[in-house]
Amino acid sequence: MNEMDFQEGTEFYIKEFDTPLAYIPSKGWVNYFGGSPRPYDPKGLKPGNNWPASSFREWLKIVEDSKS
pLDDT value at 6 more than 90: yes
SS3 category, 20: strand
Distant-in-sequence, close-in-space partners of 18: CB < 8 Å, separation ≥ 6: 33, 62, 65, 66
Q: What are the pLDDT digits (tens) for 7-66?
A: 999 999 999 999 999 999 999 999 999 999 999 999 999 999 999 999 999 999 999 999
Stated length of the chain: 68
Mean local confidence (pLDDT), 2-9 = 96
pLDDT for the residue 11: 98
* Domain residue limits, the chain: 3-66
∠ CA 26-64-34 to the nearest 5 degrees?
A: 65
pLDDT for the residue 68: 82
pTM, rounded to two decimals = 0.94
Paired strand residues for 21? 13, 31
How many CB atoms within 10 Å of residue 42? 11
